[in-house]
């Protein structure tokens, strides 16, 4: 993958959070995440570590039972098998870079699909 920027990858979606894949191997996945106000990645607990770097906007990153209020420059790391989710505040767009290792499986993202379908940040 050639050099890129969060601005070059930028893609928002009115219906749900959007991602732009930057890199993926069997050991790591890197995406840029774009959230309109109030949009989210539902809470789920895949078997991968994730690092989330907030580039712009404000919101919440769930790490287990803890909700971290986040703003530009913040980094949150969540270990594998720990509940995690991201939600933009209701009054701002949020942009973040997410690095997961190893990439989560399609099966591990079933709670994400269910949460989006039901409009639930924490579908548990």
Q: What is the pLDDT of residue 2?
A: 74
Does 2 reside within a domain? no
**Domain total for the chain?**
1
Residue 31: pLDDT band (50, 70, 90) is very high
CATH number at residue 62: 2.60.120.10
Contacts of 100 (CB under 8 A, 6+ apart): 28, 29, 46, 48, 49, 50
Please choose, from the candidates 116, 45, 51, the residue with its C-alpha nearest in 3D space to the C-alpha of residue 87. Answer: 116
Does 6 reside within a domain? no
Whether residue 64 has a cis bond before it, omega within 30° of 0: no
Does 61 reside within a domain? yes
The total number of residues written for the chain in this structure: 124
Does 16 reside within a domain? no
Calculate mean pLDDT across residues 20-31: 96
Does 105 reside within a domain? yes
Does 12 reside within a domain? no
pLDDT digits (tens, 9 = 90+) for 52-61: 999 999 999 9
Which of 35-39, 56-60, 65-69, 111-115 is the least confident region?
111-115
Instruction: Please check whether residue 98 is in contact with residue 30, taking contact to mean a CB–CB distance below 8 angstroms.
Output: yes
Does 78 reside within a domain? yes
- State the residue range of the domain holding 110: 29-114
Does 17 reside within a domain? no
Q: What is the pLDDT of residue 1?
A: 60
Q: What average pLDDT is seen over the chain?
A: 96
Residue 77: pLDDT band (50, 70, 90) is very high
pLDDT at residue 15 is higher than 90? yes
pLDDT at residue 123 is higher than 90? no
């Amino acid at each position: 993958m050639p050099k890129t920027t969060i601005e070059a990858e930028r893609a928002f979606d009115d219906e749900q959070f959007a991602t732009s894949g930057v890199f993926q191997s069997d050991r790591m996945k890197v995406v840029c995440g774009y959230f309109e106000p109030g949009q989210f990645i539902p809470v789920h607990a895949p078997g991968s570590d994730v690092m989330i770097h907030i580039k712009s906007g404000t919101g919440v990153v769930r790490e287990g039972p803890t909700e971290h209020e986040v703003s530009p420059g913040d980094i949150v790391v969540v270990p594998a098998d720990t509940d995690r989710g991201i939600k933009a505040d209701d009054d701002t767009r949020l942009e973040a870079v997410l690095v997961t290792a190893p990439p989560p499986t399609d099966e591990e993202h079933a709670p994400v699909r269910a949460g989006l379908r039901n409009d639930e940040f924490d579908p548990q």
